[in-house]
Structure 1
């Protein structure tokens, strides 16, 4: 039976360790920034998800 290269690569991989449950410093900073923004009570740049998606679709590609 023929095996593809991807099958061989997957067969030769070991189990991955579980990621740590503690958030990294960047995640903690992002959480603090989000909490601070929400505490202001101000609305964001977009009122809903549809507005955000429409803006992303209209943005020029980089």
Structure 2
């Protein structure tokens, strides 16, 4: 029986662990910061998504 390359790749992989259902500390900190920002009622730096994309395209590469 002929095997394809994809079969070999799948045969050589191990099971992946299930991710935790609980957020990690970095995610929790980001959630707290976002909640604090939203609680201020201030508007963000960009009025809409198009402004955000435009700024990203004009930003120098890092």
TM-score scaled by structure 1? 0.83
TM-score (norm 2): 0.83
- The unaligned stretches of length 5 or more in structure 2 are none
Unpaired segments of 5 or more residues in structure 1? none
**CA deviations over 1:3-47 (Å, ceiling 9, x no partner):** 44xx33432001211100000111001000000000000001101
Task: Write out the 4+ residue segments of structure 1 that deviate beyond 2 Å after TM superposition.
Answer: 1-4, 7-11
Specify the alignment match of 2:35 in structure 1: 35
Q: Let me know the Cα RMSD of the aligned residues.
A: 1.5
